[in-house]
Amino acid sequence: YITEILARPFLSGWKDRDGLTFSTPGGGIYGPKTMLIDQDAGSGGDFLPWSFKRLGLGKLIGTRTWGGLIGISTNPSLIDGGGHVVPFFRFYTPDGEWRVENEGVAPDIEVILDPTLVNQGRDPQLERAVAETLKELQANPPADHSEAPAMPTKLGL
């Protein structure tokens, strides 16, 4: 899941013979994070913010998600060629709670997407997310792992 990638901690740095450095794991995002959510997000759009919040990856900004986290399965076609879907499986938490279905995921900071501002080319949810992320970045900057320590003069063999 994407939350596993977002939660990756810096484990090690590497330096090659040319002096280039890189980190492990690759693709880690070590700074602050925010996620935009709204009422049109359901299913995976409910699960992703729920897991983001559960893992403490950052703030959720926007409006409560739709609350549709019951899985459906393919069922045989009806005699007239029509179809139907039947709830087949449901989500529960590691704490043994049935959650999210019919309740959604609440944001940490509620920001309504104002149509007047959107028509002016603005996105108040995105603007708030950027502001919150920058504030968090200033208060808690990620460690700079781009500089490797000096190379040892003896291999220690």
52-63 pLDDT, tens digit each: 999 999 999 999
Structure confidence at residue 69 (pLDDT): 86
Instruction: Give pLDDT, residue 155.
Output: 67
Name the amino acid, one letter, at 71. G
Q: Which long-range contacts (CB under 8 A, 24 or more apart) does 81-90 make?
A: none
Give me the DSSP letters along 69-81. Answer: -EEEE--PPPTTS
Q: What is the pLDDT of residue 87?
A: 82
113-142 per-position pLDDT tens digit: 999 999 999 999 999 999 999 999 999 998
Alpha helices in the chain (DSSP H): 2-6, 44-54, 115-119, 124-139
pLDDT for the residue numbered 156: 61
Q: Which residue has the higher pLDDT, 73 or 48?
A: 48
**Strands 86-90 and 70-73, bridge-based pairing:** antiparallel
Tell me, what DSSP letter sits at residue 98?
B
Flag the least confident range among 8-17, 99-108, 128-137.
8-17
**Which domains are delineated in the chain?**
1-30 (no CATH), 32-75+83-139 (3.90.226.10)
State the pTM of this model.
0.82
- Reported as a single tens digit per residue, the pLDDT across 64-81 is 999 988 888 777 888 999
Q: Are 13 and 21 in contact (CB under 8 A)?
A: yes
What pLDDT was estimated at residue 117?
95
CA–CA separation, 25 and 9 (whole Å): 8
